[in-house]
Amino acid sequence: MNSNFLPVTKEEIISLGWDAPDFVFVTGDAYVDHPSFACAILSRVLESKGFKVAILPQPSVSSDADFKRFGKPRLGFLVSAGNIDSMVAHYTAAKKKRHDDAYSPGGKAGYRPDRATISYCNRIRQAYKDVPIIIGGIEASLRRFAHYDYWDDKVRRSVLFDSGADLLIYGMGERILTEVAVALNNGFDIKQLTYIDGTVYIADNLDGLTDYELCPSFKDVSTSKTAYAKSVKLQYTEHNPIKGKTIVQEHDGKYIVANKPAMPLSRTELDRVFALKFERKWHPMYDDMGGIPAIEEVQFSIISSRGCYGGCNFCALAFHQGRMVQSRSHKSIITEAEKFVWNPDFKGYIHDVGGPTANFRDPACDHQLEHGVCTSKQCMAPKLCPNMKVSHSDYLDLLRKLRKIKGVKKVFIRSGLRFDYIMADKNDEFFNELCEHHISGQLKVAPEHVCDEVLRLMGKPKNDVYNAFKDKFYKINEKIGKKQYLVPYLMSSHPGSTLRSAIKLALYLKKEGLNPQQVQDFYPTPGTISTCMYYTGLDPMTMKKVYVAKSPEEKRMQRALLQYKKPENAALVRKALVQAGREDLIGYGKECLIRPERKGVSSNVNTNNKRQGSFSKNKRGAQKSGGRAKGKRH
């Protein structure tokens, strides 16, 4: 056994002198002992509290044999589908099967089942009828209530019912799981653990329950889209660890009881988590299988913060990590960076220092510290709240310290940066040093669209904010003598986007000389406000109707318009323009997107600007490409 890793076989359990593990941690990811992987963090936290944890990565569900590998755990099974919802990991937005999986050996798909949380729990229950099962991770967290499921195209019950688990932990689980583990170790029955913040359980009745909000029932939300929209609004409104209430939702005579979110970890607690002894690499059993690709980008990256008050409606983070930002101390982060230097694989480049949003280090305002997040408005959309405290001084000071570490050549920022937050900062010091020191030629940012109505429904700032940022970015780079370029992330078919919206975005791309090689179709993942819009045709926050592109053909047309230069998109682009009444954009003129179809001649895009190839050049001579890594928006 490699004693630095937690045990993964029965033989290793025996060599450690254990009769049985306290917990078996079942995960849909390969075993990577790195703080970017939830399994690693939670198992190390439990280990630090004196619990014995065995890891069961990607077990086969063809039988219950793998789940009996360690024998019956003393306290229970912990089950997670992994860092990404298993259905998102397996299928594209077009519901096509993926052939790769960055969290599996060799990057190959097929090591985890669809709906992994349910599949794993069902096999555990087959193996051991009475063992406690606790589920968590993003798949369970975002499916804790009755939810619209894109792949089934229907509303499914809470995952607690379909999995047969005893308890669900949602959000970031260190404190919650520790409290559960201690209670079980002290002799509490799993059914008695109804009082812990950040957990969800099933109740036969509501006797003794006070101060709760009743959410529309499973029957109501599965038959009424208005009820579904109201349920989503309530779930977001009460997602407040300070003043949120317990939410109850009836499921066919039983009740899902979701306690209010747990308080985020303090800075001291977060530092303590990241000070645990991680190997920061995959388990050696994967060496001959090609390793685990997901670690490549994060091995020499640093998680500096959690939570996000950015409020993007298509992002699940607000409903998982929450909108209250927590950050690690400079000392904790610098200590982690200094350890990189002694790693023989470190070449001097820290790939990233950030979190869900890299330039958020503190709560949005003083109000959040006392009352939690606002229930009636967002921090940054449609514009920044006047109460927001805008400053990059702490983050900039941190980056300067990291740059001074002997052996560190460059410190890059590759996680999300909110450009509207940068523009709101009256001090340009951070913007200047960002361009000078922290970009590797291209800076990826997420304007997502150019139509203000679509941006409003996305929870994003107006397009003129991005344009102002873009202009300032290039002015700064011109001043410092660097040729660095923006790579915009773009999304097609988000609720509210019509063909005319997509055409407007295509014309913007043409004007700017951008030729995105990848475009993200809107992906209706569980638990987001945008997914609610997609399913119901309603904005749950206003109950106003929203246009939704649902037909596969229209979604293909919207995507094709954003990549109008690709020859294989010609027919779809032409059809979209005709359908939208924009035949004026079919022709040979300067503003045209595509040439007319001619019999016997392969049509192509308008090439008056002579920008061909896989990349196009903008007016500043920049090579441009678009796109976003798979799973980035999840």
Beta pairing class for 167-169 and 199-203: antiparallel
In a domain, 254, yes or no: no
In a domain, 381, yes or no: no
Residue 303's nearest CA partner among 337, 353, 350, 256 is 353
In a domain, 265, yes or no: no
**Residues 6+ away with beta carbon under 8 Å from 14:** none
Mean pLDDT of 510-538: 94
In a domain, 585, yes or no: yes
Predicted pLDDT of residue 622: 36
Residue 419's nearest CA partner among 377, 369, 473 is 473
Which residue, of 187, 202, 217, is where some domain finishes? 202
Q: What is the pLDDT of residues 596-613, one digit of tens each?
A: 987 655 445 554 443 333
Q: Judging by beta carbons within 10 Å of its beta carbon (0-12, 13-18, 19+), is residue 388 exposed, middle or buried?
A: middle
Beta bridge partners of 83: none
Q: Please, are residues 387 and 367 in contact by the beta-carbon 8 Å criterion?
A: yes
Q: What is the pLDDT of residues 451-498, one digit of tens each?
A: 999 999 999 999 999 999 999 999 999 999 999 999 999 999 999 999
Predicted pLDDT of residue 3: 65
Task: Say how far residue 384 (Cα) sits from the centre of its chain.
Answer: 22
Q: What is the pLDDT of residues 408-449, one digit of tens each?
A: 999 999 888 999 999 999 999 999 999 999 998 999 999 999
Number of H helices, E strands in the chain: 22, 24
Q: What is the pLDDT of residues 292-343, one digit of tens each?
A: 999 998 999 999 999 999 989 999 888 899 999 999 999 999 999 999 999 9
Rounded Cα distance between 260 and 404, Å, is 42
Predicted pLDDT of residue 600: 56
In a domain, 617, yes or no: yes
Predicted pLDDT of residue 623: 32
Where is pLDDT greater, at 246 or 367? 246
Mean pLDDT of 225-235: 97
Q: pLDDT band for position 381 (50/70/90)?
A: confident
Q: What is the pLDDT of residues 119-167, one digit of tens each?
A: 999 999 999 999 999 999 999 999 999 999 999 999 999 999 999 999 9
Percent of all residues in the chain with a pLDDT value above 90, rounded to a whole number: 88
Q: Please, are residues 206 and 194 in contact by the beta-carbon 8 Å criterion?
A: no
Predicted pLDDT of residue 561: 97
Beta pairing class for 623-624 and 616-617: antiparallel
Rounded Cα distance between 491 and 509, Å, is 13
- Per the structure, how many domains does the chain have? 2
Residue 495's nearest CA partner among 552, 546, 456, 541 is 546
pTM for the complete prediction?
0.92
Predicted pLDDT of residue 316: 87
Rounded Cα distance between 179 and 185, Å, is 10
Q: How far apart are the first and last CA of the chain?
A: 35
**pLDDT of 253 strictly over 60:** yes
Which residue, of 202, 236, 255, is where some domain finishes? 202
Residue 137's nearest CA partner among 69, 84, 215, 61 is 84
Q: pLDDT band for position 620 (50/70/90)?
A: very low
Parent domain of 123: 10-202
Give the DSSP H or E segment for 246.
Answer: strand 246-251
Q: What is the pLDDT of residues 624-633, one digit of tens each?
A: 333 333 334 3
Which residue, of 183, 202, 221, is where some domain finishes? 202
Q: What is the pLDDT of residues 26-61, one digit of tens each?
A: 999 999 999 999 999 999 999 999 999 999 999 999
DSSP reduced 3-state for 10:
helix
DSSP structure string for 352-418: EEESSSTT--S-SSHHHHHH-S-SS--SSSSS--TT-----HHHHHHHHHHHTSTT--EE---S---
In a domain, 545, yes or no: yes
Task: Tell me the pLDDT of the chain averaged across its residues.
Answer: 92
In a domain, 471, yes or no: no
In a domain, 301, yes or no: no
